[in-house]
Amino acid sequence: MGPTAVGKTAVGIALAERLNGELISADAVAVYKKLDIGSAKPTQDEQARVRFHLIDVAEPTDDFTMTDFERLASAAISEIRSRGKLPILLGGTGLYVRAVTSELSIPAAAPQPEFRAARWAEVEEFGAPWLHAKLTGIDPPSAAKIQPGDGKRIIRALEVFEVTGQPLSSFHTPEGVHGILKPGVQILGLDREREALYERIDRRVDQMMTEGFIAEVRQLLDSGVPRDAKSLISLGYRHLVQFHCDEVSLEDTVAMIKRDTRRYAKRQLSWFRNDPAVNWTNIKEGDSAEDVAERLEIGISV
């Protein structure tokens, strides 16, 4: 795993080829059908080299959850192993990775559409900080970890309490949000120099725009996917939804996607860096995916 645009897909493919493996995508956006360009899904040529799992398993209107991912990924791991191959989890959604690789308490709280709609109405009327104050009274540890303006996470924490009667913080293991690593699991982290990573992010966004990212979002909206669907509030997609619906300039939209993607990469690295189980490899300028995969293979016990 590693931050967005670090080069996980290319290295994962090379590593799977070396180790007779198959890849399980741990990307919270790639699970959705028709969200191809903005999620940087592996190309058809890449998928022809190595088999990928958990790509295009949900409709754009679905509310795909971490529990859904854990269930499908665990089934894929068993199926891959039954054929004598090595399952390799590949992605940058930290909670998805840890839901599979660790003993982690996951709240059994299915999404509650009416509850969420009511809370979002409160956010619209009173602001997310007002709702954050309510969470503080119910679950102080969770409130301390969630920014007052992060309406999505605030509502999820309130939803868990509504469904289970227990605060979200009570589901965390004593070892924290990373949980206890399962036996036989090895976690490999990829990183680059920060300036090089940010340059790759900017180039990727430019490439997405060239490949038709704007048209992809327009087709999703025209097909009836609500602008507030979980799939369309993800990075990049929400920016282009705003571009289409709210007359934000294209120049400003692209600049915001690049800025927010860099911020997202920084948050990913902070999450991963706090996990002592990750073994890090730095990708240097001039390294090929095969070079990195070879270095990784040396340190892997299979």
The pLDDT profile of the chain, 302 residues, written as one tens digit per residue, is 999 999 999 999 999 999 999 999 999 999 999 999 999 999 999 999 999 999 999 999 998 988 899 999 999 999 999 999 999 999 888 888 888 888 766 666 777 888 888 899 899 889 999 999 999 999 998 899 888 888 888 998 999 888 888 888 877 655 555 667 888 899 999 999 999 999 999 999 999 999 999 999 999 999 999 998 989 989 999 999 999 988 789 999 999 999 999 999 998 898 888 888 899 999 998 999 999 999 999 878 65
Q: Identify the CATH assignment for 8-105+176-298 out of 3.20.20.140, 3.20.20.70, 3.40.50.2300, 3.40.50.300.
A: 3.40.50.300
pLDDT score for 96: 87
Q: Identify the CATH assignment for 113-171 out of 3.40.190.150, 3.30.110.40, 1.10.20.140, 3.40.50.150.
A: 1.10.20.140
Residue extents of the structural domains in the chain = 8-105+176-298, 113-171
Exposed / middle / buried, residue 141 (Cβ in 10 Å: 0-12, 13-18, 19+): middle
β-pair type (180-181, 187-191): unpaired
From 104, 120, 105, select the one nearest 159 (Cα to Cα): 120
- The conformational region for residue 199 under phi > 0 = left, psi -120 to 50 = alpha, else beta, is alpha
β-pair type (187-191, 102-103): unpaired
Cα–Cα distance between 223 and 64 in angstroms, integer? 19
Question: Which structure tokens are listed for 213?
Answer: 């990212």
From 189, 188, 191, 190, select the one nearest 302 (Cα to Cα): 188
pLDDT score for 169: 80
Residue type, 93: T
* pTM exceeds cut of 0.95: no
